[in-house]
Structure formats: C-alpha cells, structure tokens
Amino acid sequence: MCVLCGELVMNVHWTDQPIHDKEYRPTAVVGESQRDRIRNRLCRADFVNNIVAFYGLSFRDWQGSKYVLSDRKGQQKIINDLGDLWPAAQQMSGRRIDPLDPALLSYLSAPECCRHEHTGSRCHAD
C-alpha cells in the first residue's frame, strides 16, 4: 500500500523488483539503499522524459514515491511504474506509443535529443 495516498498497489512492476545480490539477506535495513533508489528514480525519470518529449509530454519524479506525467496543456496524471506509464502516455498524447515507430527512432537518433550524450553525464547507477 502506498502510505501517502492509501492506494493499494497489488503488483510490483518487474522493473521495480529488487535485483538481489549474492548476499541476499532476510532482513532489510530501513533507509539502507535509499540513495540508490532515489538516484535510480531520478535517472529513470530523466530517460523517460527524453522519450516522451517526442509526444509533447514530460515526466518527473514526485517525492520519491510517484511519477507525474504531464502535457503542455496542464493535464497531469500520477504514475506508479512503467507498467502504468505507457498506456497513460498513449491516452494523454492521443498517439500510439511504439518503440518500433520510425519517426520516434529518427527523433531519438538525432544528436540534439539526447542530453546524456552531449554532457557526457550518463545516468549510471554504479
């Protein structure tokens, strides 16, 4: 359950599943991997933002617990995970979100689209 809004989150999306290391432990320590978690969320939001910009949308992390997807007309939607994101983006933009779409691919291949490559500040979790 989300402690902020009381929403019952029944499934953890596979991209949010913890990737266990070899020292898998039965106990979790509060706050132990917060830094990694927040960094991953911010990086993910940044990646997604690059992609959904093609559809006129923007995507950001909200309080480390949700994401917010918004368009330029002021519509906003709360997003839990990547499983939620793409259907919502499709509905909000009215366009088919397809990673095989040549138009999207040529947009992404254009050098001005990817800030990461320009600044050299690749978002790596390590």
Partner 1 sequence: MNIPGAVAMPINQKTPLTIVTGFLGSGKTTLLGNILQAPRFAGTSVIINEYGEAGLDHRLIRRVEERTTLLAGGCVCCNRREDLINELKELLDAYQRGEHPLDRVILETTGLADPAPILFSVLTHPLLVHHFYIDMVVACLDAVNGELHLKQSPEAVKQIVCADLVIITKTDIGDHDTVTRLRRRIQEINPAAAVETSAQGRVGADIFEPAQRPAGQRSGRRLEQLRTAGLDQDGHTTAISSISIQFDQPLDWLAFGIWLSMLLHQHGENMFRVKGLVDVGEDGPIVLNGVQHIIHPPQHLPDWREYEEHNSQIVFIMREISPHQVLDSLRAFQHLIGAHPEIREINLNPLGRA
Please tell me whether residue 106 binds partner 1 under the rule CB under 8 A.
Answer: yes
CA separation (Å) from 74 to 58, 59, 124?
11, 13, 31
Quote the CA–CA distance of 14 and 54 in Å, as a whole number: 25
Q: Strand locations in the chain, DSSP E?
A: 57-62, 66-71, 76-79
Please tell me whether residue 20 binds partner 1 under the rule CB under 8 A.
Answer: yes
Question: Among 37, 50, 71, 78, which residue interacts with partner 1 (rule: CB under 8 A)?
Answer: 50
Please tell me whether residue 38 binds partner 1 under the rule CB under 8 A.
Answer: no
Q: Which CB sits closer to partner 1, 1 or 73?
A: 1
Identify the burial level of 115 via C-beta atoms within 10 angstroms of its C-beta, where 0-12 means exposed, 13-18 middle and 19 or more buried. exposed
Stretch that binds partner 1, among 62-70, 72-80, 106-114 (CB under 8 A): 106-114
Which residue's structure tokens are 């600044």? 119
Residues lying near partner 1 in the complex (CB under 8 A) are found at: 10-11, 13-15, 17, 19-27, 29, 32, 40, 43-44, 47-48, 50-51, 82-83, 85-87, 90, 96-100, 102, 104-106, 108-109, 114, 116-117, 122-126
